[in-house]
Structure 1
Amino acid sequence: MKRLLPLLVICTTIGGASLAVADTVVIQPEQQTVIKEYVQKNPVASVSIAGLELSVGAKVPDKVVLHEVPDVKYRYTVIDNQTVLVDPDTHEIVEIVH
């Protein structure tokens, strides 16, 4: 039986590259700076979602509005006063922005 290697997906964006290996997402420092600056200049209202533990991999309900960051694949929203990056395809949190 052949063993399958983990699928590597490389997403190139302006300001850096994001590398996804299986379920791990790495946001490059340059891209983190772009995201943080954009989020600070474009604040959104915080929402509260009962039962949602804010952690990487947690799924955000489809009803939560995700906001675009120009030239970045991921979207952001604010949950319980914490900004999170969310994969718009899976609605999974990929990073908690500090």
Structure 2
Amino acid sequence: MRMHLTAAAAGLLLLAGIGVAAADTVVIQPEQETVIKEYVKKQPLASVKLPGVELNIGTALPDTVELHEVPNVKYRYTVIDNRTVVVDPETRKVIKIIQ
């Protein structure tokens, strides 16, 4: 009986960990993504180089990177290594890379 409880407890902890990881994921609604893409096309920015920073979803950008507003959208954007990235301004983490 004790072995079954231990396995069940381990399973619950694993599921809880997956839930926490999933809660960190930010989903941009299709309407917001369209607004962002259209705005970025109209407001191009010079690309910034960030040596030593691997640009991926979840990468936190340093405070030295200026984030730019998109009207009526809570997220910000910038251009790094010729790629437009959408950033959560509260965490400064990349949530979307627009090619």
| Residue 27 (structure 2) pairs with residue 23 (structure 1) | no
The percent identity for this pair of structures is: 62
Secondary structure of the corresponding residue to residue 25 of structure 1: coil
- Larger Cα-atom Rg: 2
The Cα RMSD (Å) is 2.0
Q: Give the match for residue 96 of structure 1.
A: 97
> What amino acid maps onto 2:86 in structure 1?
L
Structure with a larger share of its residues in strand? 1
- Return 5+ residue gaps in structure 2 as ranges: 1-12
Q: Give the match for residue 49 of structure 1.
A: 50
TM-score by length of 1: 0.77
Q: 2-side partners of 1:28 and 1:80: how far apart?
A: 25
For this pair of structures, how many residues does the alignment match? Answer: 85
Q: Give the match for residue 40 of structure 1.
A: 41
| Residue 87 (structure 2) pairs with residue 86 (structure 1) | yes
Structure with a larger share of its residues in helix? 2
